[in-house]
Structure 1
Amino acid sequence: MAQHPEPPKADRPEPRLGPRPLPLHLATANLMLLSSLAVWPIAKDGLSYWNPHLQPRLGSLLPSLASVDPNEFTAALISAGLARIGAMTGGMQRYRRHGRRRDLPDPPVFWREGSSRVLAYGEAGMPVLLVPSLVNRAYVLDLAEGQSLARWLPGQGMRPFLLDWGDPGEAEQRFDLATYIARIRRALQQIKRETGQVPILLGYCMGGNLALAAALTAPDDVAALALLATPWDFHAGGTHQAALVQALAPALVPAAAEDGQAPPMLEVDTLQGFFWALDPFTALKKFTQFAAMPEGSEAERRFVAMEDWLNDGVPLAGPVARECLLGWYGENQPVARRWLIDGQPVLPQNWRKPTLVVLPERDKLVPKEGAAALLAQIPQASRLDAPSGHIGMVVGPRAESGLWQPLAAWLNTAVPQAEKHLPANKKRAVRVRATKVQA
């Protein structure tokens, strides 16, 4: 067989860090095997401490377990477990060595402030400011060719602007939620000045909470509001998540700053550990499936693109981490009307402009019941059920039909034509300013 020399090291992409945190995912897979070995003798004898929903399945297995040879069954169990772990690690190695890297060029930068920037997509149409979460990169809304809501919307009469938070700099490390929300308001004002139109505000996940608060504190700068998988009742539909955060928060949340220093941040691997805890066997399942995907397939391309984004996290400013983990998840402050911005509670019922609340059908991160709590509170709220999960809703194979198209239809009708533009004399002034900025 001919030997093919490896390409020079400089031409090879660096191995990926993910899936993060890698040691935790590997330990979980090994725990699956060890726990199976430990529990089956107990199950064989009919003794059970299983969850009630597993009891019927155990009952159907008992007749078969009673007649098996213990040594043979143990050997078979070890073989099956090792095969599953081998498939998972094979998928992980394939992913870590994959040659695909995101290569979409950035669009023009419309506005900057601190470590944040607003990227401009399109040159005409109704302006829409897209606000992502603070804990993941903004490019989930511009992930890859064919997986970019931001690049698709201009063909539907929209002019998207994507708020890319960036990594927290020296200033942002001291930010709380109110400071980030004030940055959204300034971005909205800049878009309004330079386009001559009052923009629509779209928030995704945690970005929806920030967008709602920005809209309530600057209603004249927001024409309508779209909230995608935005949590509100943090104790609804996912009580295990709230209990988990309450148990882990004392160890996870960074301490307050001392002696004028910047507060410690919540690091990426710690955040990823929280997401792991929501479904510890996710990596085992998805990398086993990835190992079996045909090379060069569309499924492989999508998996790598999404996984790269998932592992490209952003540290969270310490004050924000305390507000979110302790205030939102721990105390459920939004529902209790105790989430305060500039001393005032964030009250969805005070937002009286058109609003779209998007609920993914299979969302493990934001339970549907917790996001649906906004529907009853916002007077002009419409509902859209997206047939996917939290991330698949935006970038999955069914994203265009399940979310993008109905979202665009709503965006095009949310704001009456007569209200889309500022007065003509103001638009003329805006065009002059915009020309000076570009010059």
Structure 2
Amino acid sequence: MRELSRHGALELNRLLQGLNRYNSLKITTPKLSGVNVWSNSVADLYCYRGESTSLLRIPLLLVPSHINRSYILDLPEQLSFVDKLSSLGITTYVIDWKQHGVVQNFNYSKYMQEGIGPILTYIEDREQEKPIIGGYCMGGLFATAASVIFPALIRGLVTIATPWNFHGSGFLLPVFRPDLLKYTLDALKHFANIPGNLLKLIFYAAHFDDINRKYIEFSTNTNNGKFGIIEHWVHDNVDLSAALFLESIDQLFVQNQTANKTWSMCDRIIDPSQITQPSLCAIARNDKIVPVSVSLLLPTLLKRSTIIEKQSGHLGMITSQRHCIAQNIAEWIRATFR
């Protein structure tokens, strides 16, 4: 018992050292480095023109997760996912959502109708080519839905660490247990927006052991830069409109409508089996945020899907040199759209 107590004290001390070390870092919030080519009241659109001599003619539109900011796709210090894509010849567009937390009725359909729909039209007009649409995490939900709602505007689909079976084992439990979330709906339905700090607390409660462990390891880690900038992004939560948050809780976490093929948006049932375009689904085998039990269902429902599996965590496929899927995407585009 005394040895366990001593070990616990040492771990707590390392945790505090890791936290203090992180808090002492001087981190500047990154900005997207692409060219801002389009804007409305819902989103800005940034373009990263392909740099390779073997320029791929089909552009790629990336939809980020709504919970955190879009610069995770364009980090500094050679961590930029979109820079890797453009260096491979892929002209890439990134959506940067504007803050609509105070707009209580801004739900999935509103973002689709006033954001993604007009952006797809703009890209086709600008490039004279329909884009492939891709999404990271929650952005993959939007990308998949857009492929059902706007099939005439989309050449293909790419999903990265995208949840689809929200009742899969190990997914944000016990915080997001369906029986408990029903009470959350009643508590939050009168809010106009959901503060980003509340979302941060929810994720900490769901993954407190893993989060504590990474700070313990950081207490002796020499790589300040990468850990600091990614952790800064993790803490840089955005406020969500209550409508979007409550739809996610009720329709996805409680009812699991995506898996049950009853999820609707813009008066359409979002059934992946209706998508006729080719798709590429990237799955992280060591993902603790979106486990394989949650992400693997989507590619099995798509008719023309190619699956990429990486031995990485939730961020590894876009931030890790070893597990980055930029090359996989370029090879898939070349092989699929000749």
Deviation at 1:317, TM superposition (A): 1.0
- Aligned residue pairs total 331
Aligned position for 2:7 = 80
> Residues 199 and 157 from structure 1, CA distance in 2 versus in 1: closer, same or farther, beyond 3 angstroms?
same
> Residues 346 and 293 from structure 1, CA distance in 2 versus in 1: closer, same or farther, beyond 3 angstroms?
same
1:78 is matched by which residue type in structure 2?
Answer: S
Aligned position for 2:110 = 179
Aligned position for 2:197 = 269
2:231 is matched by which residue type in structure 1?
Answer: E
The 8 Å contact of residues 100 and 304 in structure 1, kept in 2 or not, is answered as yes
Long gaps (5+) in structure 1: 1-72, 258-262, 417-439
Residues 229-281 of structure 1, C-alpha deviations (whole Å, 9 max, x = no match): 11111112336637734254345446445xxxxx5212112211221233221
Aligned partner (choices 141, 147, 154) of residue 209 of structure 1 = 141
Deviation at 1:152, TM superposition (A): 1.4
Aligned position for 1:117 = 44
2:141 is the counterpart of 1:219 = no
Residues 269-317 of structure 1, C-alpha deviations (whole Å, 9 max, x = no match): 22112212332212321111111023xxxx3211111101100011111
Aligned position for 1:348 = 272
The 8 Å contact of residues 101 and 194 in structure 2, kept in 1 or not, is answered as no
Cα RMSD after superposing both structures: 2.0
Aligned position for 1:312 = 236
Q: Secondary structure at the match of 1:198?
A: coil
The 8 Å contact of residues 179 and 254 in structure 2, kept in 1 or not, is answered as no
Residues 307-357 of structure 1, C-alpha deviations (whole Å, 9 max, x = no match): 011000111111111111121011111122221112221110110111011
* CA distance in 2: counterparts of 1:323 and 1:399, whole angstroms: 33
The range that moved more, 265-274 or 185-194, is 265-274
1:94 is matched by which residue type in structure 2?
Answer: R
* CA distance in 1: counterparts of 2:60 and 2:134, whole angstroms: 7
The 8 Å contact of residues 30 and 75 in structure 2, kept in 1 or not, is answered as no
The 8 Å contact of residues 232 and 370 in structure 1, kept in 2 or not, is answered as yes
Aligned position for 2:24 = 97
2:165 is the counterpart of 1:233 = yes
> Residues 148 and 350 from structure 1, CA distance in 2 versus in 1: closer, same or farther, beyond 3 angstroms?
same
Which gives a bigger RCO, structure 1 or 2 (Cα 8 Å, sep 6+)? 2
* CA distance in 2: counterparts of 1:239 and 1:140, whole angstroms: 22
The 8 Å contact of residues 245 and 325 in structure 1, kept in 2 or not, is answered as no
% same residue: 26
2:279 is matched by which residue type in structure 1?
Answer: T
2:254 is the counterpart of 1:358 = no
Aligned position for 1:335 = 259
2:246 is the counterpart of 1:325 = no
The 8 Å contact of residues 174 and 206 in structure 2, kept in 1 or not, is answered as no
Long gaps (5+) in structure 2: none
What TM-score comes out, normalization by structure 1 length? 0.71
The 8 Å contact of residues 278 and 365 in structure 1, kept in 2 or not, is answered as no
- Greater share of strand: 2
Aligned partner (choices 142, 152, 155) of residue 74 of structure 2 = 142
Computing the radius of gyration from Cα coordinates, the structure with the larger value is 1
Aligned position for 2:211 = 283
2:300 is the counterpart of 1:372 = no
- Greater share of helix: 1
